[in-house]
């Protein structure tokens, strides 16, 4: 949370920086516009939801996706910025996975868009590694003690995405309808897939 | 009193999952600048990330209570993003902090009524270069 004065200061500094970089011939404002527009309009968790839904209906694709998330993205024609190595980790009745970047904010932009504020907050970054079950409970996710919780710390090289469990009762749904069950939070691991996603 | 932008409808800022993608326009410009220069190949992502991690670590060290869920109202992610960007540009001698400070002061001294939302709808350097003549 910033204050209005702080925001004004940052806004002036950012404007000054952009103005200088344009003058030095390093940057074009139109290129900056394009980047921002892409992130605001085109990138987002609906991309990851496509991968999840496909994995739910197609076991061979799921196998390939778990071997290489990056290759699976290419298969579905998903590219986008920061297409670093994507590793998809699978939730099951025995294991629940959750993703973090303890040092900054590394996140699989290409499949989930930009991370939510809470993902970047100091509290989440440090607590989800130290006390994952408590953090998940605060997100409304109460896991049985018998379930193993695995926390994946993202880095510049490797970004993680969770393959949530397919919700019970969704057996008859078409792939496109399954996509609607996959929330961003379920692909970070702080929620489950299901209706109202 | 700061006027509130439209929260819903066509005038509203872009949202994903009910959350703003960028909290303020300056955040989107800071983000876009880094991405644009990275995409041009000016620096490897690791290089920027090192500066980002360092900037965040400085804040974390100064606010130890935040790690246990204490007050992190002061934590503005894109401030660290911007600081990291400036550090990278300084280290690579692409743009000096002193230049940024000087230009920021100049912009801050502009007469009222100049400041308008920076939504990227115009090339700022081009449109305003005439303001400085004779200064």
Each residue's pLDDT tens digit, B89-109 = 999 999 999 999 999 999 999
Is the pLDDT score of B130 beyond 70?
Answer: no
Highest mean pLDDT among A50-64, A82-96, B98-112: A50-64
Residue B96 has phi, psi (to 5 degrees) of -90, 145
Task: Judge: B68–A123 Cβ closer than 8 Å, yes or no.
Answer: yes
Task: Judge: B67–A40 Cβ closer than 8 Å, yes or no.
Answer: no
The ipTM estimated for the assembled molecules is: 0.89
Q: Which residues of A are tagged catalytic?
A: 101, 104-106
Task: Judge: B104–A16 Cβ closer than 8 Å, yes or no.
Answer: yes
The distance of B44 to chain A (nearest Cα, Å) reads 10
The proportion of chain B whose per-residue pLDDT surpasses 70, expressed as a percent, equals 70
Q: Which residues pair with A85 in a beta bridge?
A: A158
A12 closest CB neighbour out of B31, B46, B108: B108
pLDDT tens by residue, A7-51: 999 999 999 999 999 999 999 999 999 999 988 877 889 999 999
Q: How far apart are CA A162 and CA A89, in angstroms?
A: 5
What is the sign of the dihedral through the CA atoms of B71, B77, B79 and B81?
positive
A130 to chain B: closest CA residue: B68
Task: Judge: A26–B94 Cβ closer than 8 Å, yes or no.
Answer: yes
Mean pLDDT, to the nearest integer, of A68-90?
A: 87
Give contacts of B98 with chain A, Cβ < 8 Å. Answer: none
Give the burial string for A100-119 (b: 16+ CB within 10 Å, else e): bbbbbbbbbbbbbbbbbbeb
Q: How far apart are CA B108 and CA A79, in angstroms?
A: 40
A95 vs B: CB within 8 A: no
Radius of gyration from C-alpha coordinates of chain B: 18
Lowest mean pLDDT among A128-132, A149-153, B20-24: B20-24
Report helix, strand and coil shares of chain B as percent, to nearest 5: 55, 5, 40
* Average pLDDT value for chain B: 80
Give contacts of B95 with chain A, Cβ < 8 Å. Answer: 17, 20-21, 24, 26
Structure token digits, residue A38: 């892409």
pLDDT of residue B115: 58
pLDDT of residue A155: 87
Q: Which residues pair with A153 in a beta bridge?
A: A100
What kind and span of H or E run contains B126? helix B124-128
* Average pLDDT value for chain A: 93
Mean pLDDT, to the nearest integer, of A96-125?
A: 95
How many beta-carbon pairs under 8 angstroms link A with B?
A: 178
The proportion of chain A whose per-residue pLDDT surpasses 90, expressed as a percent, equals 86
Instruction: Between A124 and B130, name the one with better pLDDT.
Output: A124
The distance of B135 to chain A (nearest Cα, Å) reads 17
Is the pLDDT score of A61 beyond 50?
Answer: yes
A183 vs B: CB within 8 A: yes
In order, the DSSP letters of chain A are ---HHHHHHHHHHHHHHHHHHHHTTS--HHHHHHHHHHHHHT-SHHHHHHHHHHHHH-HHHHHHHHH-HHHHHHHTT---TT--EEEEEE--SSEEEEEE-SSS----HHHH-SPPHHHHSHHHHHHHHH-HHHHHHHTT----TTSEEEEEE--SSEEEEEEPPPPTT-TT--HHHHHTT--HHHHHTSS---TT-
Is the pLDDT score of B42 beyond 60?
Answer: yes
CA distances from B48 to A113, B61, B90 (A): 19, 20, 12
CB atoms within 10 A of CB A77: 7
* Most B CBs within 10 Å, among A14, A128, A155, A183, to test the B interface: A14
Strand, helix or coil at B13?
coil
The distance of B29 to chain A (nearest Cα, Å) reads 7
Instruction: Between B118 and B90, name the one with better pLDDT.
Output: B90
Q: How far apart are CA A158 and CA A72, in angstroms?
A: 15
Task: Judge: A17–B24 Cβ closer than 8 Å, yes or no.
Answer: no
pLDDT of residue A197: 62
pLDDT of residue B127: 47
Is the pLDDT score of B126 beyond 70?
Answer: no
């Amino acid at each position: 949370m910033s204050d209005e004065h702080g925001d004004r200061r940052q806004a002036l500094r950012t404007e000054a920086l952009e103005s200088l970089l344009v003058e030095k011939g390093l940057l074009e404002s139109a290129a900056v516009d394009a980047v921002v527009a892409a992130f605001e309009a085109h990138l987002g968790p609906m991309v990851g939801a496509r991968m999840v839904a496909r994995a739910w209906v197609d076991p061979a694709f799921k196998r390939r996706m778990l071997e290489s998330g990056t290759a699976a993205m290419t298969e579905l024609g998903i590219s986008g910025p920061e297409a670093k190595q994507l590793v998809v980790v699978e939730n099951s009745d025995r294991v629940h996975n959750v993703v973090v970047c303890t040092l900054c904010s590394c996140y699989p932009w290409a499949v989930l868009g930009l991370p939510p504020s809470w993902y970047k907050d100091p509290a989440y970054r440090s607590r989800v590694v130290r006390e994952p079950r408590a953090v998940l409970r605060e997100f409304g996710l109460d896991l049985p003690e018998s379930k193993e919780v695995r926390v994946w710390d993202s880095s510049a090289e490797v970004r993680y995405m969770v393959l949530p469990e397919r919700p019970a009762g969704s057996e008859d749904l078409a792939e496109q309808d399954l996509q609607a069950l996959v929330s961003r939070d379920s692909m970070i691991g702080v929620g489950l897939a299901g209706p109202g996603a | 009193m700061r006027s509130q932008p439209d929260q819903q409808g066509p005038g509203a800022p872009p949202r994903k999952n009910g959350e703003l993608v960028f909290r303020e326009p300056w955040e989107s410009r800071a983000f876009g600048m880094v991405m644009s220069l990275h995409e041009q190949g000016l620096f490897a992502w690791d290089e920027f990330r090192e500066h980002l991690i360092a900037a965040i670590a400085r804040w974390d060290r100064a606010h130890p209570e935040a790690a246990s869920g204490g007050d992190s109202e002061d934590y503005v992610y894109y401030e660290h993003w911007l600081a990291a960007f400036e550090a990278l540009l300084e280290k690579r001698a692409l743009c000096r902090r002193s230049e940024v400070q000087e230009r920021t002061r100049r912009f801050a001294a502009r007469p009222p009524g100049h400041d308008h939302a920076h939504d990227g709808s115009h090339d700022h350097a081009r449109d305003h270069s005439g303001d400085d003549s004779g200064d």
